[in-house]
Amino acid sequence: MKADSAHKTAEASARAAILADVEAYCEELRPLEELCYLERRFNPDIQRLALKHNLLGMPLPVDLGGRGADYVTYARALARIGREGTGVRTFFSGQTSIGQYPILRYGNRQQQERYLPRSAAGELVMAFGLTEPDAGSNPLEMTTTYRRDGDRYLLNGVKYLISNGSIADVVVGFGYPADKSGPQRRMSAFIIETAGDTFVREELHSKPGMYTANTGMFEMVDHPVPVENLLGGEGNGFRIAMGTLVSGRLSVAAGCLGVIEDCLAEALNYSRTRSQHGKLIGKHQLVQEHLAEIEMARVASEALVLKAAEAKAASDADRDNAERAAAADIQVAQAKFFATNAAWQAADRAVQVFGGRGWSELYRVGRHLQDVRVCRIYEGTDEILKLKIAASLLGREFNAFS
Ligand SMILES: Cc1cc2nc3c(=O)[nH]c(=O)nc-3n(C[C@H](O)[C@H](O)[C@H](O)COP(=O)(O)OP(=O)(O)OC[C@H]3O[C@@H](n4cnc5c(N)ncnc54)[C@H](O)[C@@H]3O)c2cc1C
C-alpha cells in the first residue's frame, strides 16, 4: 500500500517536472520565436531550447532517453507549447508524435535503441513521410517504391509537405514494392536515414504562416535503407501509417487547445485595456460575446482533448484490444476535428476583438489566425475526419471510400 502511494507520488512529481520544464521552455522561447516570426525565418531555438529543457522525447520511456510522460501530461505539454504558436508545436509533432512514435510503437528493440535515445538527445531530427504530390487524403495512391538489393532496400519516390522534411536526419517513410507482380503488394514502412546524395531535399517556403517551422519535400533516387530498418514487417505500412496518425492527430488537437487558450488570454487582456466610446471595450456586450464564445471553445476542446488522450492511453496499454483501438481512433478524430475548427474560430474572434491591430503579424492573435488554419488540413482534413466519424455511427458498409 505504502509502495503504491510512493509510486503515485513519484509519478505526480515527474508529471509536474515535465510541465514545469515546458513552462520554462516556453518563456525562454517566446521573444526568440517572435523575432524569427517577424523576420519570417526558421527558428533553430525551437529545437535548441527543447534540448536544454529535456523536451525532445517527452513520451518516450526513461530507458530510451525520454521523460516517460503519459498521454494526458503530453497533451497538456503540447497545449502549453501550442500557445507559443502552431509552428513551434508542429516541430514537436514531427519529432515526437509522428517521428518517434512509430518506432516506439512498431519498431523492434534494436530499432528503438538505435534511434530513440539519440533523437531525445538532440542528435536526430525526426519526421514522418507519408504524403506525396499525388497522394494526400488517400495515401494508398502513393507511388514511392522499394526493391531489395542484397542487404538493403533501394527507395524511389517523392514525399511532399513533410513537417521537419528538409531538416530531418531520420524519416519514417512509406512505399510499395516495385515488383507489382510479387506476392507482397501492400505498402511497407521504413526508418530512412536522410544522409547522402540519393536523398534530395528542399524547403517549402510560400506558406501563409508557420514561418519558424520547417516544411519540406524530398526525393529519393535509389536511396539505400538497410534491411534491418524495415519497420513492423513487410506489408504493414498502411497499418503503421494509420496508427501513427492517431498519435499525430492528438498532438494537433492538443496544440489547438493551446492556441485557444492564448487567444483567450490575449483577448481578455486587450478588452481590459483598450477603450472606445468612453469605456473599456470589455464593457461592450458584443465584445463580451466574443470572449464567451472563445471560453466555450476552450472548455469544450479541453474536455475532448483530455478524453481522447485517456482513450489513447487505454488503447496503448492494451495493444491487442481492437475495441479500445477503435475508440481511441474515433475520439482522437473527434477531438482533432473539433479543436482545430474551434481554434480557427477563436483566433478569428480574438482578431476581431483587437480590431485593426489584430490583423497583423505584430500581434499574437494575428499570427495564430494565419498559422492555425493548416490544422484543419494536415493529419486528416476536416472532410476525411467527418467521414470517419459518420461511418463510425452508420457502420462499415457506409464507408464513403475504401
Ligand atoms: C504545413 C503542412 C505540414 C504537413 N506535414 C506532413 C507530415 O509531416 N507528413 C505527411 O505525411 N504529410 C504532411 N502534410 C500533408 C497533409 O497531411 C496533407 O496535405 C493532407 O493529408 C491533405 O492531402 P492533400 O493536401 O493532398 O489534399 P487532397 O487529398 O488532394 O484533398 C483536397 C481536398 O479534397 C478533399 N477530399 C479528398 N478526398 C476526399 C473524400 N474522399 N471525400 C471528401 N473530400 C475529400 C480534402 O478533404 C480536401 O478538402 C502536411 C501538410 C501541410 C500543409
In tens, the pLDDT along 328-377 reads 999 999 999 999 999 999 999 999 999 999 999 999 999 999 999 999 99
Of the candidates 34, 141, 379, 383, the residue annotated as catalytic is: 379
Whether ligand 1 lies within 6 angstroms of the CB of 136 is answered as yes
Per-residue H/E/C for the chain? CHHHHHHHHHHHHHHHHHHHHHHHHHHHHHHHHHHHHHCCCCCCHHHHHHHHCCCCCCCCCHHHCCCCCCHHHHHHHHHHHHHCCHHHHHHHHHHHHHHHHHHHHHCCHHHHHHHHHHHHCCCCCEEEECCECCECCCHHHCCCEEEEECCEEEEEEEEEEEECCCCCCEEEEEEEECCCCCCCCCCEEEEEECCCCCEEEEECCCCCCCCCCCEEEEEEEEEEEEHHHEECCCCCHHHHHHHHHHHHHHHHHHHHHHHHHHHHHHHHHHHHHCEECCEEHHHCHHHHHHHHHHHHHHHHHHHHHHHHHHHHHHHHHCCCCHHHHHHHHHHHHHHHHHHHHHHHHHHHHHHHHHHHHHCCCCCHHHHHHHHHHHHHCCCCCHHHHHHHHHHHHHCHHHCCCC
The last residue of one of the domains, among 125, 160, 189, is 125
pLDDT digits (tens, 9 = 90+) for 236-280: 999 999 999 999 999 999 999 999 999 999 999 999 999 999 999
pLDDT computed for residue 5 by the predictor:
82
Binned at pLDDT 50, 70 and 90, residue 396 comes out as confident
Residues 255 and 217 in one domain: no
- 135 and 111 together in one domain: no
Identify the residue whose C-alpha is closest to ligand 1 atom 38. Answer: 137
Of 95, 128, 137, which is best to mutate to test ligand 1, by the most ligand atoms within 8 angstroms of its C-beta? 137
Report pLDDT for 304. Answer: 98
pLDDT attached to residue 182 = 65
- Looking at residue 183, what is its pLDDT? 59
pLDDT at 10: 83
Residues 254 and 393 in one domain: yes
pLDDT category of residue 4 using cuts at 50, 70 and 90: confident
pTM (two decimals): 0.97
Q: Which of 77, 95, 125 is the last residue of a domain?
A: 125
245 lines ligand 1 (CB under 6 A): no
Does 11 have pLDDT greater than 90? no
Q: Which atom of ligand 1 is nearest to the CA of 130?
A: 11
CATH of the domain at 15: 1.10.540.10
What pLDDT is recorded for position 1?
A: 60
384 lines ligand 1 (CB under 6 A): yes
Q: What is the CATH number of the domain that holds 333?
A: 1.20.140.10
CB 86 near ligand 1, within 6 Å: no
Q: Cα(134) to centroid of ligand 1, in Å?
A: 10
- Assign residue 222 the CATH number of its domain: 2.40.110.10
Q: How many angstroms separate the alpha carbon of residue 380 from the centre of ligand 1?
A: 6
Higher pLDDT, 394 or 12: 394
Considering the domain architecture, whether residues 256 and 171 belong to the same structural domain is answered as: no
Whether ligand 1 lies within 6 angstroms of the CB of 315 is answered as no
Beta bridge partners of 39: none
Ligand 1 atom nearest to 207, measured from its CA: 1
pLDDT digit string (tens) for 365-393? 999 999 999 999 999 999 999 999 999 99
58/154 same-domain check: no
In 3D, which of 382, 78, 388, 378 has the Cα closest to residue 251?
78
From ligand 1's centre to the CA of 244, what distance in Å? 15
Q: Are residues 245 and 214 in the same domain?
A: no
Question: Tens digit of pLDDT for each residue in 190-241?
Answer: 999 999 999 999 999 999 999 999 999 999 999 999 999 999 999 999 999 9
Q: How many domains does the chain have?
A: 3
pLDDT of residue 350: 99
Decide which of 94, 125, 156 is a domain's last residue.
125
Task: Give yes or no: 379 in active site.
Answer: yes
Same domain, yes or no, for 227 and 242? Answer: no
Cα(140) to ligand 1 centroid in Å equals 13
Indicate the average pLDDT of the chain.
Answer: 96
Distance (Å) from CA 136 to ligand 1 centroid = 4
Pocket lining: 162 vs ligand 1, CB cutoff 6 Å: yes
Q: Evaluate if residue 9 carries a pLDDT over 90.
A: no
Q: What is the 131 CA–ligand 1 centroid distance (Å)?
A: 8
The pLDDT tens digits of the residues spanning 130-168 come to 999 999 999 999 999 999 999 999 999 999 999 999 999
- Find the domain containing 28 and state its range: 2-125
Does 277 share its domain with 392?
A: yes
Mean pLDDT of 63-77: 97
